[in-house]
Structure 1
Amino acid sequence: MTIPAQAPSGRLLPLLLGTGGLLVLGGVALFWLASAQNQPQTEGAVPVTVTATACEPMAIEVPAGPTRFLIRNASDRPVEWEILNGVMVVAERENIAPGFSSVLSERLKPGVYDITCGLLSNPRGTLTVLATAESAAETAAPPLRELIGPLSERKVQLMKAAGKFARATQALEQAITAGDLAAAKTAWMRAAAEWAGLGTVAPQAADLQNRIAPQAAWLAGRETDPAFTGLHRLEYGLFARSSLAGLAPVAAALTKDATAFQSRVKAFDGTPAGIAADAARYARSLSDAIAAGNLAPYAGEDHLLLAAALDTLDRARAVLDPLLSAADPAQAVRVTARLAAAHAAAAAVPLDRQANAAALAAAAEALAGINATLGLEP
């Protein structure tokens, strides 16, 4: 016999309603807490707004040491914000979408720096970093003798990579001059991969970097802008338009810039702290770029470029691994595992951009912790 369902008694109904209300409120509270934890840490950050034409403010002053910047994009296109020391990129945050904000954390040394403000044609602002007692003590501290070997090894790696890039651009120019579209596409992929392998040192020559690989989104006229040069201009012609028309002078200029870049790398005097710091910065930059989907916007060869980029991060890790393993074996294992996870994400087909961005961000975090462990920063 079926027992008919009974409605809750008058005494139970308020209790059930009250319990349901508490569950709803609890769910809302948990959602709010989770959302708050996922927000970037903006407390104490220096606010910077990038408009279509400038930064607000155009002049910033901060004390030396760890600093966070909250960068808001108030323009109508994705922007990057950089801190420059001459032609060298000290720190950057790329691909900030219109209407969104991003936090950049960096340990800054005393000095006067330039800051970029969106489009490459926009005027630059000024960042003044004031000396403190702590920064003076850091400056006086001698470099660790044990890091001379890794520093020399890393420089040799980068010099060889710069030579490969210069030769790859020469082959690309020859294919374009010969009128061979298929060969030019193959040569472009080789040159682009070699350039991706130089991502840790490229910001040290920001003037050349802006000619070798400017993104169309960074330029007022996009693909039609006269400053749209180098690898991406060739990529646009070869892959988006399947044409060699007008590419010969672009390829010749790229070869010239690649040769100049090779000379810069030879003359570049790195620092022990720069090995890990540059690798961490590059991993963060890659994370931003792959999330926006513009490593190879016209050729669609993101797998190839990611693999080359991760190889150079691995080489940077490897030269420091003996010292890191001795100082903190668990951290050495963690750095290796994070990079292995990034390699696995990059090899997946189809490419999951969000998974790659997350893996690269995790690798960047691990790489960024190396210097403190090795005593290269307080």
Structure 2
Amino acid sequence: MEPRMRAVRLSVVTAAATAATLAAVTGCAQKSDAKGGEGAIQVIAKDDSCEVAKKDFPAGHVTLNVENRGGKVTEVYVLYPDDRIVAERENIGPGTKATITAEIKAGDYEIACKPGMKGDGIRQKVTVTGGKATAKRSPEMDAAVAGYRQYVQAQADETLPKVKVFTDAVRAGDVEAAKKAYAESRIGWERTEPVAESFGDIDPKVDVREDGLEAGQDPVKDWTGWHRLEKALWQDKKIGDREKQLADLLDKDLADWVKRVGTADITPTSMANGAKELLDEVATGKVTGEEERYSHTDLVDFKGNVEGAQKSFDLLKPVAQKNDPALVTELDKQFGALNELLDTYRADKTGYAFTSYEKVSKEQRKELSDAVNALAEPLSKLAAAVVK
């Protein structure tokens, strides 16, 4: 996701709001997708409008068929009233179509189209209604969600001591030790990014870049997290009192993250959609080197992102295998190809010492982007395969 959109959407969320969505994780769902009787909901995105065919539809597995009739690339979001993201699809080119499948509980929402992928977008209010006739998730779906939550919890728990090595070095004023610990401290977070939006406002607190700050925010006062410290270590090459304060804050925010995992709003479709959107972000943004622009540890992030996306797929595979075995075969193939390519940049076969990204040529970056896109295309079909 575009950094500014992620920061804007998440900055208003509280832990209480996140906990309130637990019902969507453990509750029942009524199918209303393209194969569920009422059909998919048509969304026509134009440069000056966002037309939604139905403003009232039943809760459950909902499919949006999006057509971009405008002249600009667009994004489409389903948003909670507090602007948290339920589902999204980015990079929908002019004259093209896309499908969004998501598990949505009863309530009021907005569907937003973002021409040019900028600003808050053009919004339509919709109401999702609950029904008495509901169908529980399959045991395989429940197992996938439980397995992914367990995986995310393990990654969060393992991150804290690694971050402490990093923040202890910052507090000690040891620039070189902090640099050495930086990339490894981020691996667990990068693995859980497919569902980062379910953690509320943690993402903009710990992982925002300077150009991802909201309008009116002061980079000196308001910029926090890993990338602010990354800039101090590699560009400024010094650690002051503010950086030591930010180290304390990073520890605090990530400890809060660990507590939120248990109530995070994770569904089979959010697992699938989140993995796909994360790889889109890698292919169109991270591959340029914008993520780790000072440390050039981008390939560590890439590997963590791919591992997190693959875990989501592996847990959903039993369901997808029944509904679309050809898709599973293709995804296995593309994950294998991308991992093989990433491993060529590894200093050893099992560790996370990767080539500095500044040494990766333009042609090599294009090769990485192509490999990610080759995986993202079939991955975009996983959510629909899961709810068939």
**TM-score normalized by the length of structure 1:** 0.70
Distance in 2 (CA, whole Å) between partners of 1:159 and 1:200 is 14
1:309 and 2:305 are equivalent in the alignment: yes
Distance in 2 (CA, whole Å) between partners of 1:345 and 1:190 is 20
* 2:64 aligned residue (63, 66, 83): 66
Distance 1:142-1:263 versus aligned 2 partners, 3 A rule? same
Distance in 2 (CA, whole Å) between partners of 1:315 and 1:258 is 22
Larger mean Cα displacement after TM superposition, 239-248 or 359-368: 359-368
Aligned equivalent of 1:357:
369
- Secondary structure class of the residue paired with 1:106: strand
Q: How many residues align?
A: 316
Aligned equivalent of 1:257:
253
Give unmatched runs, 5+ long, in structure 2: 1-41, 58-62, 346-359
Match for 1:128: what amino acid? K
Match for 1:231: what amino acid? W
Give unmatched runs, 5+ long, in structure 1: 1-42, 49-55
Distance in 2 (CA, whole Å) between partners of 1:60 and 1:324 is 31
- Secondary structure class of the residue paired with 2:126: strand
Match for 1:112: what amino acid? Y
Aligned equivalent of 1:346:
342
Aligned residue runs from structure 1 range 108-147, under 5 A: 109=104, 111-113=108-110, 126-131=123-128, 140-147=134-141
1:196-227 Cα offsets, whole Å, 9 max, x none, are: 11111211124211111112222358983533
1:84-125 Cα offsets, whole Å, 9 max, x none, are: 4346433456799xxx9998753465732486989xxx8787
Q: Is the 8 A contact 2:101 2:383 kept in 1?
A: no
1:22-81 Cα offsets, whole Å, 9 max, x none, are: xxxxxxxxxxxxxxxxxxxxx974135xxxxxxx67x9756363143759999xxxx998
* 2:384 aligned residue (369, 372, 375): 372
Relative contact order (alpha carbons < 8 A, sep ≥ 6): 1 or 2 greater? 2
* 2:228 aligned residue (215, 225, 233): 233
* 2:181 aligned residue (167, 187, 196): 187
**TM-score normalized by the length of structure 2:** 0.68
Instruction: Work out the percentage of aligned pairs sharing the same amino acid.
Output: 20
Distance 1:218-1:329 versus aligned 2 partners, 3 A rule? same
Aligned residue runs from structure 1 range 17-36, under 5 A: none
Q: Displacement of 1:130 after TM fit?
A: 4.7
Distance 1:102-1:369 versus aligned 2 partners, 3 A rule? closer
Match for 1:111: what amino acid? D
Match for 1:68: what amino acid? V
Aligned equivalent of 2:100:
106
Distance in 1 (CA, whole Å) between partners of 2:75 and 2:223 is 16
Q: Is the 8 A contact 2:194 2:278 kept in 1?
A: yes
1:247-276 Cα offsets, whole Å, 9 max, x none, are: 111111111111111111122242233332
Q: Is the 8 A contact 1:342 1:360 kept in 2?
A: yes
Q: Pick the structure with greater CA Rg.
A: 1
Q: Displacement of 1:299 after TM fit?
A: 0.8
